[in-house]
Structure 1
Amino acid sequence: MNRIYSDNGTLLLGLESEKNQLLDSPVQFSVYTVIFISEGEGIYHADFASFAFKAPVVLFSTPQQCIYIRETKKISSATLQFHGDFYCIEFHRNEVACNGLLFNNIYLEPSVKLTDDQHSFYTQVTANIAEELLQKEPSEIVLRALLQLFLAKSSSIKLNSSERLQLKKDEKMDHFRILLEENFLTLHKPGDYASLLSITPNSLTKQCNNRFGKTPTQLIQERLILEAKKHLHLTRLSIKEIAFALKFQDEYYFSRVFKKMTKMSPQMFRKTTGISIVADLSKE
């Protein structure tokens, strides 16, 4: 056995080893997916973004992201998947700051590049997870501890990565990022942000592509959908209440936009990803 399930059949945690045929066609998982690539290279696509990678590296995706890998060479990997009901990254954010860093971040590549020593560490941790999953009665306590170790190490590496440090050097794009975080609910056109930055829309597009590998339009759309996903997963607000909070004219228009961007309705997204334990904490 390399997976554990809940009583109702939901995948809680799984680990699969792969060679060569790794996500060669688009797929959407209802769980968090972490791909530890120990050998090979390729191009990783996650929703709107894509980037080249070379082993050793760890790739990340959030539930219902459309992901696939193309142009692979000699791939050897292990795919680790977990459900929010098994390990809630928001609930454990004080112990493991991976929400908004490894997952749910539209500005950084969803990857962690590894040194040889770090590669050895991840090899050992995944081997420990695999060993525990093979037990007659796998310990969920042990598996959560190992998963937390895996994610905590990834967050630590990401926080200190050259990629993240490099992002501090572009003042204009730092300002755009701040403006987007402040205004994504009300300003939906690249021209709005270009005016606030006192640059042309063409200049904004060029600088965004250079900095984030995405157009301003993509970032604006992704930020709005990311907020919608947070409401669907982290609260018990109704679809109508979420649409109102995100300033859509009604829940039907919100559902159409959400489905266009994610290939599924808000209701289906909530059903497949579940509602986080965090949704009920404010009631206590």
Structure 2
Amino acid sequence: MSAFIKIERRDDLALYSPINAPYYFIILLDGYFSFSLDFNSYKCDGKTILFLSPYQLLKWDSDACNEVYVLQFHGDFYCIEYHKEEVACNGILFNNVYESPFISVSEDFFNEVIQLFLKMNRLPSAMNYDVSIIRSYLQLILALCSKEKQIANKQHQIIPVKKTTILHFKALLDEHFIEMKSVAFYAEKLNLSVNAFSKKVKKQYGKTPSKLIRERLTLEAKRLLHLTYKSIKEIAHELGFNDEFYFSRYFKKEVGVSPKVFREKVGISIAAK
């Protein structure tokens, strides 16, 4: 296996916590478990595939898993953004702040992905053609999971009490998250009190509006650090921070490492502009 990709079967999930890791992760789990990711809590039961992007903060709370398979890879091995059109997986590995970081899958689908994991693991990648095959298997896994996630999102989408209220907030946040970081701004735009607005958003997304605002800003910071050659000072200014040092403190608090360390470890994508 390449130094930039690793596949393993884990027997003790509690001991596995990829915190402060500059890798993408695809984790296959079978059983009951609960965990927190970036301080958001989740519970799962059955066959599940969990997706992590670099430096997400993962903590297992409990588990009773029968099987755990972990695939990790660095952006230098397989550039997600460069291949996003052909595998449609950008929303999987740079987790959308509005969606769950995992999907529940059927036994057949779960076993199909495990077999792909095992095929990849049998290749020593000592030769260039082995590396190409491993990348092809990884691309197939990402494409299959992307399609499965799209299907799951359509089937399990929560219908808002007031469609225009909640969906309009999502559109407003994507448009104004840089210059407008106050919950009151979005509540006022939707003609709601801050309290009523916060309850509706929490019911829909399982997160408070302030949490979603921070996550959306942090996600954009990660994208700019990984997908552009812009300096940290330029990124800080683009994201509405007057001081790059304040931006660095904010980023480290949210991610666990500074923007400088994040960029050094994760790297700048070959798709960077």
Same fold (TM over 0.5): yes
Distance 1:74 1:167, change over 3 A: closer
Gaps spanning 5+ residues in structure 1: where?
6-11
For residues 229 and 221 of structure 2, the distance between their equivalents in structure 1, rounded to whole angstroms, comes to: 12
- Asked if 1:225 corresponds to 2:252, the answer is no
- Asked if 1:252 corresponds to 2:242, the answer is no
Task: Provide the residue aligned with 2:141 in structure 1.
Answer: 150
Give 2:62's aligned amino acid. E
Task: Provide the residue aligned with 2:235 in structure 1.
Answer: 242
Give 1:76's aligned amino acid. E
Task: Provide the residue aligned with 2:55 in structure 1.
Answer: 64
Q: CA RMSD in A?
A: 1.7
- Asked if 1:114 corresponds to 2:105, the answer is yes
For residues 26 and 158 of structure 1, the distance between their equivalents in structure 2, rounded to whole angstroms, comes to: 23
Task: List per-residue Cα deviations over 1:30-78 (Å, max 9, x = no partner).
Answer: 10011011x2211132103221112311001100111122210134211
For residues 254 and 181 of structure 1, the distance between their equivalents in structure 2, rounded to whole angstroms, comes to: 19
Greater helix content: 2
Deviation at 1:190? 1.0
Deviation at 1:227? 0.6
Task: List per-residue Cα deviations over 1:251-282 (Å, max 9, x = no partner).
Answer: 11111111111121110000010000011xx4
Deviation at 1:82? 0.7
**Does 1 or 2 have the higher relative contact order (CA < 8 Å, sep 6+)?**
2
Task: List per-residue Cα deviations over 1:220-264 (Å, max 9, x = no partner).
Answer: 001011111111000010011111111111211111111111121
- Asked if 1:129 corresponds to 2:120, the answer is yes
Aligned residue pairs total 269
Task: List per-residue Cα deviations over 1:110-140 (Å, max 9, x = no partner).
Answer: 112111221221121111111124x655811
Gaps spanning 5+ residues in structure 2: where?
none
Contact 2:13 2:68 in 1 (8 A): no
Q: Percent identity?
A: 38
Deviation at 1:168? 6.7
Give the alignment partner of residue 16 of structure 1, picking from 8, 26, 33. Answer: 8
Contact 1:234 1:275 in 2 (8 A): yes
Contact 2:33 2:65 in 1 (8 A): no
Distance 1:85 1:26, change over 3 A: closer
Contact 1:33 1:61 in 2 (8 A): yes
Give the alignment partner of residue 159 of structure 2, picking from 153, 169, 191. Answer: 169
Task: Provide the residue aligned with 1:277 in structure 2.
Answer: 270
For residues 23 and 154 of structure 1, the distance between their equivalents in structure 2, rounded to whole angstroms, comes to: 26
Task: Provide the residue aligned with 1:77 in structure 2.
Answer: 68
For residues 246 and 165 of structure 1, the distance between their equivalents in structure 2, rounded to whole angstroms, comes to: 35
Deviation at 1:101? 3.7
Compute the TM-score of the two structures, normalised by the length of structure 2.
0.93
Contact 2:31 2:65 in 1 (8 A): yes
Match of 2:33, SS state, is strand
Give the alignment partner of residue 177 of structure 2, picking from 160, 172, 184. Answer: 184
Contact 1:28 1:67 in 2 (8 A): no
Match of 2:7, SS state, is strand
Compute the TM-score of the two structures, normalised by the length of structure 1.
0.89
Give the alignment partner of residue 28 of structure 1, picking from 12, 20, 27. Answer: 20
Distance 1:252 1:233, change over 3 A: same
